[in-house]
Structure 1
Amino acid sequence: MQLFRFLLPMALMGLFTSLHAQNPSADHGNKFEQLGTLITPPNSYHAWDGAPGPDYWQQRADYEIDCTLNTEEQRLDGSEWITYYNHSPQPLRYLWLQLDENQHSPKNDNQYFDPSSIKPVMSEYELKALETWRGRDKYGVNIEAVADENGQALEYTINQTMMRVELPETLGPGEHFRFRVDWHYYIVDRVYLNHLLEATGNAATLPRGGYEYFPEDDNYLYTITQWYPRLCAYTDFEGWQNNQFTGRGEFALTFGDYTVRITLPEDHMVGSTGECLNYADVLTPKQLERWEAAQTADAPVEIVTLKEAKAQEKAKPAKKTQTWIYHANQVRDFAWTASRKFVWDAMPHYNSDGKRVMCMSYYPKEAYPIYSRYSTKAVAHTLKTYSKYSIPYPYPTAISVEASNGMEYPMICFNPGRAEPDGTYTEIAKKSAISVIIHEVGHNYYPMIINSDERQWAWFDEGLNTFVQFLAEREFDADYQSWAGPPHQITAYMTMPKGQLEPIMTNSENIKDYFSNAYLKPATALNILRETIMGRELFDYAFREYGRRWAFKHPTPADFFRTMEDASGVDLDWFWRGWFYSTDYVDIALDSVKWYKVDLDNDPERREITQPVRASKPFRDLSQIRNEEAGIVPADEEDPELQDFYSNYKPWETADSVTQQKIVIYDEPFSKKEKQQQFGDKNYYELYFSNKGGLVMPVIIQWTYEDGSTEIDRIPAQIWRKNESAFTKVFVKEKQVKAIEIDPFRETADAGLGNNSWPLRQVPSRFQVFKKHKIESGKNPMQRANGKYTDD
């Protein structure tokens, strides 16, 4: 995801399902009902327990790609062979391919479908963003040829960012088809488009890849992503995922093997998905020697040093080209980067299964102070943490590229992290780099390995990934201030006006605050599920089982929901309903408290009550009447031995119709000694709770006693089953209570802190006041501490 731009309103595709109350006029019977038809029903492909079913299948697509980067024209030319395997039970008459670069074409709807308006004061980029399509005629994929392996041309139709290829004959189950696509496109200026994005939030300008130009040294940094025509996913739950790519929803793809040959000027360093097959041909002997040394190093080894990178970016551009060859197995996509500016370092990480993974970073000198210290080690830490909560990292490499943005692909990702010109940096720049590196490397798991469809369900990889990112950050630095995870940080979003909100399970094109909805809220929900609802042991086991079941497969949200319940033994339908299918929020109010003690001196007055009990003739129902009409003879009429006094007893016809019943109220009192022994020292606190926000959650109560000691009671969410709006509960305490606080650790995302305490604690509203404005940049802390700071 373009995480570095997360505050901009980007949306991904998701499945919107509204939450309908089953018993809308009642105060119960809604929030704790099973999900039922809200989730897709199980079948032989996606089983009842959340695992892949016995008939599960998925497609495969293998690629052989040759491409050439023209650094003078900023153009990429490519030719690819695709072998598509139909493992489905359905015969296919055509194939759908994605042409993501067409998002930049003026022929694409995304250039026109966002609203715009005039402001009193507008920037240059805001004005240009009013016509995002202008001046883009040369952009987009140009298809030069589509042919089968015999060279016979294939018919094809381009529909904006999608291309349908007609098969010469139906591709039956178990068959495969090999064909070739030749193409080229002009590479976009990624930095310029990001300026447009920042100015308006218009996702039509969102660049996933492109180039960045450095005018001070006349060099380029290329991030080549979503760059080749590639097969759409074809799944059992959707068929072809051929929704248009508008710049928002990312992609769903098919696993396969790749061999890619990249030709470009020989002075460019390349980093890529997969393993390089010809380092001996493209590296200098010294670089190759350092690469070999990095295989067993304890810290990052610079294969290309800072000094060499600075010299390269100043040298005269190379005229000769060379070809880098990469291969990757079982990946769903392929991306690469290139620049004359790169420093490149690497070190190994060893999985729990003993497998070595080469962790690497590529970065320009502008990022050296942060990246040389943190990037590659953050990559290794991410693999260690994510493997603990899922499966051991299965690929041979993991790469972080500093490209002043955030986006992920198999084995390679692009992140921010540049320092000041003097080599110092702010803490925000450091944390931004570490967080985005962890997040984007983590995307190798969600969705690159556990292959969810982000174009349908934005949260299903962004939310899951952000949650594990939070775990990794806290294991990187115990005091790490994460932007997602702690429950109290989500309350401002969840209490926004309903018109500004939508459930997590919403089509992402319809989401207003995408970052809060797809990243923050689901990550917070999962953290609450782990810490408060299920407990770490049950949650971690179930979460790992989900990863194990669905690695290298195509799960749906229903598979996740069912697996979490199946592997833990915890019914969570109420939780999914509230957090994922509604816009309710948490605000549990402690409305009042009553304190009681047993009266040791007085007993309730003993009283006798006599009341009449009147017998009435039983009503003859329709079944009795029809049995008589049918001539059915009861067993007690056939066998007189079955009859006794009561067989013909009819008290309503006799004086027995009225009898007197005596009730003695408070008949047996306790002695004072008994009361003293059992109840004398106990304190009874009757607490009255109400649900102001609508979201049912556990109630965590902290008691503070007169002697200063404290105690925690945890009441499960099921306390709301019989009344979802309010409940009363009595607590018996040996000590006298001085104060009560609800949600003391702020673990349930309770938004109404003002109603969580007894005696009532006022939480004032606040307003701000100032005298005048002043703008002064000043020095960052590193500059103030050390004067000029440099790693040169």
Structure 2
Amino acid sequence: MKIFGNLKTQSLVIAGSLCLAFAQAQQNPGSNHGNKFEQLGTLLSDPNIFRTASGAPGSMYWQQKADYVINVEIDEVNQILKGSEVITYTNNSPDPLTYLWVQLDENEHADGSESKKFNQSSLSERMSIEQLKTLVPEKKGFGVNIHKVTDGSNKPLKYTINYTMMRIDLPTALKPGAKMNLHIDWDYKITNRMEQGGRGGYEYFAKDDNYLYTIAQWFPRMAVYSDFQGWQNKQFTGRGEFALVFGDYKVNITVPADHIVGATGECQNYGQVLNATQLNRWKQAQSSQEPIEIVSLADAQKAMGEKSKAKKTWVYEAKNVRDFAFVSSRRLVWDALKVNEGVPGNQPMAMSYYGPEAYPLYRKYSTKVVAHALKTYSKFSIPYPYPVAISVEAANGMEYPMICFNYGRADEDGTYSEAVKYGMIGVIIHEVGHNFFPMIVNSDERQWTWMDEGLNTFLQFLTEQEWDKDFPSRRGPAHKITDYMRLPKDQLEPIMTNSENIVQFGPNAYAKPATALNILRETVMGRELFDYAFKEYARRWEFKHPTPADFFRTMEDASAVDLDWFWRGWFFTTDAVEIELANVTQYRMTGADPGKTQKDQKEAFDRDLNTITRKRNMEENMAFLVEKDTSLLDFYNKWDRFAVKPENEANYQAFYASLNAKEKDIFDGKISFYELKFKNNGGLVMPLIIEWTFADGSKEVDNIPAYIWRLNENEVTKVFAKGKEVVSIQLDPWRETADIDEDNNAWPRKSQPSRFEIFQGQGRGVRGQSSESNPMKEARKR
């Protein structure tokens, strides 16, 4: 603690100079400033007539359109999917196109595919047969078989297949504004999704000898041709998801007659595919306040045992969607509920399809979770525009327009663990939420995973927190990302990294961007500014193709908050937040009352004289010469150097009377000044949130913007005036900045409790189903 001995009553003069900042062509390496707060500049694409500097679509923005009419049939005996389609492709670009690119995603599973070659592998001394089998190449006959590619006149078109991409060469260029028809026939062997992995395929249930088909990435789909990159024909290798074109769909799905089919869009022929009882239940669901079972558990169990050999065709239509997926099985319960409020301008149907093993969880929760997700996402982004939203239990987690596949199964006795319950609710929210990002705000998942997964995980967190204040959200809270951000740099990469090149995929593409957005909302921008800007981004880019630059620019444009420093640090680097409260120094005035001043000076004078030698000399009763020979004494031996002069007392009284109340508080030492020094040890500049605890038990928080670091990115000091005695100081008290070392955030220093976490989900054979005991099971036993 430092004390001002005497404070002169004069104005404080700040010396310095005015500096003009000029845009730099590059950052300022080697300096303690001029780096982290520079504008993004060339890191972003240049604005143009297609995409403005504000982040909005430009006056000449365009995008392609692809409409589909598809006939598809599932051969349940041979596990073959057969399809034929007519694609009507409209060239809205200003460019003549001499070829078209079509995606064949199922070739990911083809024999000898790239995805089976480029991942590393190794051997250990002890390995199981199953582990070794994965290293032995097998010919399984998976992959797409193209039988026909013709134009609208049924003339064959030359095509070349390169792994998961097929180039169709056009005999004459497709001019701007023109459209053409493509006819494609194909089939493929359906994969066992539980063995081969991937998103689409079947799951076999040996107990009742039935299949659950989740058919996705199943038809030849047009690749995106855009203003910012031309053709997006980067290969699909299993991780980076999809860049797709909006269009209208009519799909005729032929399956065994006792199958129930749920799909993207609206069914056009319920009257032909449902029995009278089921059709009546469907009509009841249009006005019910609770989910109605259109296909009951008894219906599903009956069909599971009978196994019809006949066929039925379900007809689905969907408008302005970027993809189409469906579920088909005879072992499905189906319930539905109309969402009557919370989605402005729309009353969509929330629906769920699930097997008997998921019934205890899905019947209670799933459809209500779907409805809740639609309402919450509509509040934070754009109103949900589609007529349907579906959740399917498939031991999975994957999304498509209006339909998603999720996990969540009970044990055989109908009980389930808390982890399974909350995991199921979270994954349903997440996958339903993908309807907004990227199914409507249609970013390129193949290139920028975070633009759909990160934004969606952020909204998932908000939606979970509105479901239950005690919801155990795994991603979103700032302190939950710190374990990832403190990893060695060789295990990290910036968020702005292609999905195929990410080591820690979940933390990088999901959790870190979600955390960053939550920090923006709660700490940097505030809820009001953030929510307005985020909604504006969604509104600008619904049913369009945004890029990262469009998002970054819109968030600034709609809020008037300079966020380049934030994007630069959080999205373009692997820096971490590690801000240390390095030093605290207290200053206060002791007052300038002449009597008190003289007393303080006397005490200081005495302390200066009172050495150990003087002390011991006096203890020995030493006879000092000036005491033995008094002729040596003069004026200074008798002078009271600390006596108060009358004129000083009068001057002081006049000065003190001239002070106002606040000045008297400062002068009397009732206000203390605390100089805090902060060190940036992690690289990321962030706001400083400082909580003061006073002797009377009260608390106060100061929020200092991140701009305090702009002139020194490594170390800053800040002085605070406090009118009460401070007993402790805590940096980042609500753990809202993702600081990776909280041990140096407090004054006085205090030890942090250690953490010992046990992952409760180990031992699960099927995703979303517990295999260990659970409290619900134990309670039933008692």
TM interval, short-chain normalised: 0.7 to 0.9
What secondary structure, in the 3-state scheme, does the structure 1 residue paired with 2:585 have? strand
How many Å apart are 1:739 and its aligned residue? 0.5
**2:109 matches 1:120:** no
Q: Is residue 108–residue 161 contact of structure 1 (8 Å, CA) maintained in 2?
A: no
Distance in 2 (alpha carbons) for counterparts of 1:568 and 1:307: 54
What secondary structure, in the 3-state scheme, does the structure 1 residue paired with 2:47 have? coil
How many Å apart are 1:602 and its aligned residue? 7.5
Q: Extract unaligned runs of 5+ from structure 1.
A: 1-18, 194-205, 606-667, 770-775
How many Å apart are 1:677 and its aligned residue? 4.8
Partner residue in 1 for 2:497: 506
**2:694 matches 1:705:** yes
Partner residue in 2 for 1:626: none
How many Å apart are 1:601 and its aligned residue? 3.1
Q: Is residue 487–residue 749 contact of structure 1 (8 Å, CA) maintained in 2?
A: yes
Partner residue in 2 for 1:751: 740
Distance in 1 (alpha carbons) for counterparts of 2:554 and 2:316: 36
Partner residue in 2 for 1:169: 172
Distance in 1 (alpha carbons) for counterparts of 2:353 and 2:665: 75
Distance in 2 (alpha carbons) for counterparts of 1:20 and 1:589: 32
Query: Pick from 140, 144, 150: which aligns with 1:141?
Result: 144
How many Å apart are 1:125 and its aligned residue? 3.1
TM-score (norm 2): 0.86
How many Å apart are 1:748 and its aligned residue? 0.6
Q: C-alpha offsets along residues 694-730 of structure 1, whole Å, 9 cap, x if unaligned?
A: 1000000000011111100000000001100001111
The one-letter code of the counterpart of 2:233 is N
Distance in 1 (alpha carbons) for counterparts of 2:726 and 2:204: 67
Q: Is residue 246–residue 320 contact of structure 2 (8 Å, CA) maintained in 1?
A: yes
* Stretch of structure 1 that moved more, 292-301 or 349-358: 349-358
Distance in 2 (alpha carbons) for counterparts of 1:106 and 1:139: 6
Distance in 1 (alpha carbons) for counterparts of 2:343 and 2:246: 25
How many Å apart are 1:299 and its aligned residue? 0.6
The one-letter code of the counterpart of 1:782 is M
Query: Pick from 713, 727, 730: which aligns with 2:716?
Result: 727
The one-letter code of the counterpart of 1:335 is A
Distance in 2 (alpha carbons) for counterparts of 1:356 and 1:599: 70
Q: 1:485 to 1:778 in 2, by over 3 A?
A: closer
Partner residue in 1 for 2:620: none
Q: C-alpha offsets along residues 431-456 of structure 1, whole Å, 9 cap, x if unaligned?
A: 11110000000000100000000100
Q: C-alpha offsets along residues 87-140 of structure 1, whole Å, 9 cap, x if unaligned?
A: 000000010000000000123211100010012322333222224x4232x110
Distance in 1 (alpha carbons) for counterparts of 2:666 and 2:322: 68
The one-letter code of the counterpart of 1:707 is D
Query: Pick from 38, 47, 52: which aligns with 2:52?
Result: 47
Query: Pick from 457, 465, 476: which aligns with 1:485?
Result: 476
Partner residue in 2 for 1:399: 390
**2:557 matches 1:563:** no
**2:330 matches 1:340:** yes
Query: Pick from 459, 462, 473: which aligns with 2:464?
Result: 473
Q: Which has the larger radius of gyration?
A: 2
Distance in 2 (alpha carbons) for counterparts of 1:786 and 1:21: 67
Q: 1:20 to 1:383 in 2, by over 3 A?
A: farther
TM-score (norm 1): 0.85
The one-letter code of the counterpart of 2:120 is P
Distance in 1 (alpha carbons) for counterparts of 2:722 and 2:107: 68
Query: Pick from 654, 658, 667: which aligns with 1:679?
Result: 667
Partner residue in 1 for 2:683: 694
The one-letter code of the counterpart of 2:82 is D
Distance in 1 (alpha carbons) for counterparts of 2:706 and 2:175: 51
Q: C-alpha offsets along residues 674-705 of structure 1, whole Å, 9 cap, x if unaligned?
A: 46454321101111110011100000000001
Q: Is residue 343–residue 374 contact of structure 2 (8 Å, CA) maintained in 1?
A: no
Q: C-alpha offsets along residues 392-445 of structure 1, whole Å, 9 cap, x if unaligned?
A: 111010000000011000000000010000111111111111100000000001
Partner residue in 2 for 1:80: 85
Distance in 2 (alpha carbons) for counterparts of 1:768 and 1:381: 31
Q: Is residue 601–residue 672 contact of structure 1 (8 Å, CA) maintained in 2?
A: no
How many Å apart are 1:150 and its aligned residue? 1.4
What secondary structure, in the 3-state scheme, does the structure 2 residue paired with 1:450 have? coil
What secondary structure, in the 3-state scheme, does the structure 1 residue paired with 2:304 have? helix
- After superposition, residues 734-745 of structure 1 pair within 5 angstroms as 734-745=723-734
Q: Is residue 452–residue 556 contact of structure 1 (8 Å, CA) maintained in 2?
A: yes
Q: 1:530 to 1:58 in 2, by over 3 A?
A: same
How many Å apart are 1:766 and its aligned residue? 7.6
The one-letter code of the counterpart of 2:249 is Y
**2:318 matches 1:324:** no
The one-letter code of the counterpart of 1:444 is N
The one-letter code of the counterpart of 2:331 is K
What secondary structure, in the 3-state scheme, does the structure 2 residue paired with 1:586 have? coil
Partner residue in 2 for 1:227: 218
Q: 1:765 to 1:403 in 2, by over 3 A?
A: closer
Distance in 2 (alpha carbons) for counterparts of 1:446 and 1:77: 30
Q: C-alpha offsets along residues 467-516 of structure 1, whole Å, 9 cap, x if unaligned?
A: 00000000111110111111000011001111111100012211100000
Partner residue in 1 for 2:245: 254
The one-letter code of the counterpart of 1:718 is Y
Identity of aligned residues (%): 59
The one-letter code of the counterpart of 1:749 is A
Distance in 2 (alpha carbons) for counterparts of 1:51 and 1:41: 13
Distance in 2 (alpha carbons) for counterparts of 1:471 and 1:492: 22
The one-letter code of the counterpart of 2:699 is T
Distance in 2 (alpha carbons) for counterparts of 1:689 and 1:400: 49
Q: Is residue 592–residue 667 contact of structure 2 (8 Å, CA) maintained in 1?
A: no
Count residues with an aligned counterpart: 689
How many Å apart are 1:328 and its aligned residue? 0.3
Q: Is residue 600–residue 676 contact of structure 1 (8 Å, CA) maintained in 2?
A: no
**2:444 matches 1:453:** yes
**2:31 matches 1:26:** yes
What secondary structure, in the 3-state scheme, does the structure 1 residue paired with 2:470 have? coil
The one-letter code of the counterpart of 2:172 is E
The one-letter code of the counterpart of 2:203 is E
